[in-house]
Amino acid sequence: MWQLSKIDAPTHTLTGHSDWVKCLAITPDGQMLASGSQDKTIKLWQLDTGELKSTLIGHWGEVNCIAIAP
């Protein structure tokens, strides 16, 4: 994750997927990030801390697209 005012340094490194991340979505309130991966999971992250909050499993294939509705 990057702090745009300091583009030279990441604020957090989000580690957890075991394969390529294919898609990202941010919640409308800007608090959470969802990442979808070739490892067939979606991970939910707290943006201000970089903490992994949840892993959603059950997809039969890689996750190529993700959207969050309010």
Band of residue 55 on the pLDDT scale cut at 50, 70, 90 = very high
CB 67 within 8 A of CB 25: yes
- Distance (Å, whole) CA 35 – CA 43: 5
pLDDT at 41: 97
The three-class DSSP label of residue 64 is: coil
| Among the listed residues 67, 21, 13, the one whose alpha carbon sits nearest the alpha carbon of residue 41 | 21
pLDDT at 14: 87
CB 39 within 8 A of CB 30: no
Its pTM stands at: 0.83
